Amino acid sequence: MEIKDHLALIRRRLWIILLVPLLAGGATAALLMRQPVTYHATATVAVPGVVGGQNGQFSGSTGNRAFTANFTAVATSRAIADAVGAELKIPSDTILSGTSTAPIGDSSIVTVTYKTDRKADAEKVVTALAAKSLNFMFDPRQSIAAAAKAQQGVDQANQAVGAAQAAIDAFVNETKLANPTQDYQVKAQQIAALEQQAVEAGARGEADAATRIGAAAVAMKPQLIVLGGQVARYNTLVEAKTRALAQLDDARKAQAAELTQPSTVDPATAVSVSAATANSKLHDAVQKGAAAFAAALFLVLLAIFTLEAVFRQTAETVESIDLDDRAFGLLHDPAASRS
């Protein structure tokens, strides 16, 4: 069949091509309009304190996607549905079939939506789903253990700082030098000044004065060497204290993060629930009616073209058989052949 054959066939069967899809779409829309009104409520979950940053539980560039994927898997799991169903006396299969989740853009904010024909259940179900999912992901017992571990880290860092400061105090008591670096610089300047004076005295021809001043400078150099060793010891102790203070600062930051996490993931502050709203039956009827119309139109066209092709092939086969029979008759009937 060529294109003109298809177009001609469509013109001949136009009433069937339009009537069947219209009936399918109209029946679908009418059936949906007869259904009871359904309602939906949405819970918005936002826990920025544990997502992103360097200290967040879901940190790094993939933190947002990791959190939304984990939360979606938990919120739509059988275990959470069973727990919510047992609490609200609703079948878990009903909860699973009516629940959907979606992240908002590329952020870590997730929405949980529940659709039902019972308006009173919509808000209660999404609230319970969001709360139990957060509690499952961030078990309060784990938060308590993490806070205790963070406090232990702070205590150890404080002990390290105390030990470093005690070592510095012992050094000061031993050497009677509160700031050996400064003493070293003063001693080095004194030696340099004596050496400069010795050079100037020699230039003036005061050989005896130059010798005495030079000897005094030489006598002070062993003290400078001793101070150099003490400066090295002191700097080592100061560096140890600096490292201990840095560890203490990190430990306190980690402790602060652990202490703020329970309030961050508390459903009372992390979840906001919208009021139950009736779903538009007209919108669903138009949308699904249009889909039914398109599907019926495709099937009708497919059926018509298939049947037409089969009938054409059958007609051609019958015509070929008739021609063969006529030719056979002419061969065996000379009179018919002469006529």
Q: What is the pLDDT of residues 287-333, one digit of tens each?
A: 888 999 999 888 888 887 787 777 776 765 655 655 555 554 555 55
Interatomic CA distance for residues 156 and 164, integer angstroms: 12
Query: In this predicted model, what pLDDT tens digit does every residue of 271-300 receive, in sequence order?
Result: 889 888 887 667 777 888 899 999 988 888
pLDDT in tens, 158-195: 888 889 889 888 888 888 888 888 888 888 898 888 88
Task: Map 15-55 to HEC letters.
Answer: HHHHHHHHHHHHHHHHHHHHCCCCEEEEEEECCHHHECCCC
Q: Where are the domains of the chain?
A: 38-137, 144-260
Q: DSSP state, 316? A: H
Q: What are phi and psi of 274, to 5 degrees?
A: -85, 155
Under 8 Å between Cβ of 215 and 194: no
Q: What average pLDDT does the segment 260-275 reach?
A: 75
Residues 245-249, mean pLDDT to the nearest whole number: 88
For residue 337, what pLDDT is reported? 46
CB within 8 Å of 247: residues ≥ 6 apart: 157, 160
- Which one-letter DSSP state was computed for residue 77? S
Mean pLDDT, range 20-43, rounded to an integer:
84
Query: What phi and psi, each to the nearest 5 degrees, are found at residue 37?
Result: -65, 135
Highest-scoring range by mean pLDDT, 50-54, 58-62, 210-214, 265-269:
210-214
> Which residues contact residue 241 at a Cβ distance below 8 angstroms, ignoring those fewer than 6 apart?
161, 164, 165, 168
pTM for this one?
0.50
- Tell me the C-alpha distance between 245 and 220, whole Å: 37
- What pLDDT does 221 receive? 86
Residue linked to tokens 């009173």 = 120
